[in-house]
């Protein structure tokens, strides 16, 4: 099963891929400074089916069935796996017993080194198949936010791009009809825009200057310092998982009856503090007790700047105090 191996993907691109990668923070106070065409020069993508608000509620695992993947072979439903909203993987048994591994990401962060020359179902298409047996096939859903829908495909000894294209075609067609939806509980943050819940003033006070806003996915947003991806950084992440408890870190009162747990991380390259809390519990038979929707506000910076973990926590909590009330009560 393919995992979401960002490092592997970035190294593949560095070796000669032209289109897709996920930004990753690197030394020197900035993330990888990959160039991309100016979104201002392109007409906006107005297809309502692929707007961020519409895609946030789409269940990608429910799309990976025989209707979508039957042309490739028999999808193994027991292999379905998801670690994040908007992401799901599956194995397909193709002709001759060969296995095709697929990961679908709805709301994938893209970097485009040149304008897409092709289209798929009316959307700009980008393909990165420089590594034998592996391919990333994406349609752009927003040039402004650099987001898209991606199939990462692994087909050892075969053409990995063809099945990716075929599967992505079916997915985009499904999005234009009646795409499967996540089940939502009262108080859910599933539909929340992570770039819109923190006070701009609080973010820029924490950073010490104006912020550069970069959606990392439909459910995660980074706020970098200045005009590009430079530390320090504030990140807001909405996801499903188990909440932290008092043994994991120090509690912090965010007001309104909300208590976050501050988790410090201090190493040689980055100092950070994560203030997290459970917004709503979503019990499932296959999940541990307490499982639910988690809100995370993180502040990160470089040790060379003089930042220590205690200060990082103070800044993370200050921003979190503006996020909690904007989400309302469960």
Q: Which of 108, 56, 102 is nearest to 79 (CA)?
A: 102
Beta strands in 183-270 (DSSP E): 211-215, 220-225, 230-241, 250-255, 258-266
Q: Is residue 182 part of a domain?
A: no
Q: Are residues 239 and 170 in the same domain?
A: no
End-to-end CA distance of the chain: 36
pTM over 0.75: yes
Residues 155 and 227 in one domain: no
Is residue 193 situated within a structural domain?
Answer: no
**CATH assignment of the domain containing 262:** 3.40.1000
Q: How far does CA 219 lie from the centroid of its chain?
A: 6
Residue 50 domain boundaries? 6-175
Residues 30 and 72 in one domain: yes
* Structure confidence by residue, pLDDT tens digits, 210-258: 999 999 999 999 999 988 889 999 999 999 999 988 888 999 999 999 9
pLDDT at 54 over 80: yes
Answer yes or no: is 187 within a domain. no
Structural domain total, the chain: 2
pLDDT at 9 exceeding the cut of 70: no
- Spatial CB neighbours of 91, under 8 Å, sequence gap ≥ 6: 1, 75, 76, 79, 99, 100, 101, 102
Same domain, 161 and 14: yes
Q: Is the peptide bond between 232 and the residue preceding it cis, with omega within 30 degrees of 0? A: yes
Residue 132's pLDDT is 86
User: Which residue would you say has higher pLDDT here, 215 or 13?
Assistant: 215
């Amino acid at each position: 099963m393919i995992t979401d191996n960002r490092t592997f993907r970035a190294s593949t691109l560095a070796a000669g891929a032209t289109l897709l990668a996920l930004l990753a923070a690197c030394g020197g106070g900035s993330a990888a400074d990959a160039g991309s065409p100016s979104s201002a020069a392109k007409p906006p993508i107005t297809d309502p089916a692929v707007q961020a608000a519409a895609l946030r509620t789409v269940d990608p695992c429910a799309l990976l069935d025989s209707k979508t993947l039957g042309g490739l072979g028999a999808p193994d439903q027991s292999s379905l796996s998801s670690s994040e909203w908007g992401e799901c993987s599956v194995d397909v048994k193709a002709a001759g017993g060969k296995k095709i591994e697929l990961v679908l990401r709805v709301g994938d962060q893209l970097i485009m080194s040149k304008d897409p020359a092709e289209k798929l179902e009316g959307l700009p298409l980008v393909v990165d198949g420089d590594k034998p047996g592996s391919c990333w096939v994406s349609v752009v859903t927003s040039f402004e936010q650099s987001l898209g829908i991606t199939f990462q495909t692994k087909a050892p000894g075969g053409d990995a791009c063809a099945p990716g294209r075929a599967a992505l075609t079916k997915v985009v067609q499904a999005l234009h009809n009646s795409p499967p939806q996540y089940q939502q509980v009262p108080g859910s943050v599933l539909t929340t825009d992570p770039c819109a819940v923190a006070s701009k003033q609080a973010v820029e006070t924490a950073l010490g200057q104006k912020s550069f806003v970069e959606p990392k996915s439909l459910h995660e947003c980074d706020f970098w310092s200045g005009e590009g991806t430079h530390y320090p950084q504030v990140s807001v992440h909405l996801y499903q998982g188990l909440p932290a408890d008092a043994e994991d870190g120090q509690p912090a009162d965010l007001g309104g009856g909300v208590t976050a747990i501050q988790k410090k991380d201090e190493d040689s390259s980055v100092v950070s503090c994560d203030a997290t809390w459970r917004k709503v519990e979503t019990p499932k038979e296959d999940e541990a007790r307490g499982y639910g929707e988690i809100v995370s506000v993180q502040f990160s910076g470089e040790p060379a700047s003089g930042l220590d973990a205690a200060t990082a926590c103070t800044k993370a909590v200050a921003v979190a105090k503006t996020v909690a009330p904007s989400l309302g009560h469960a």
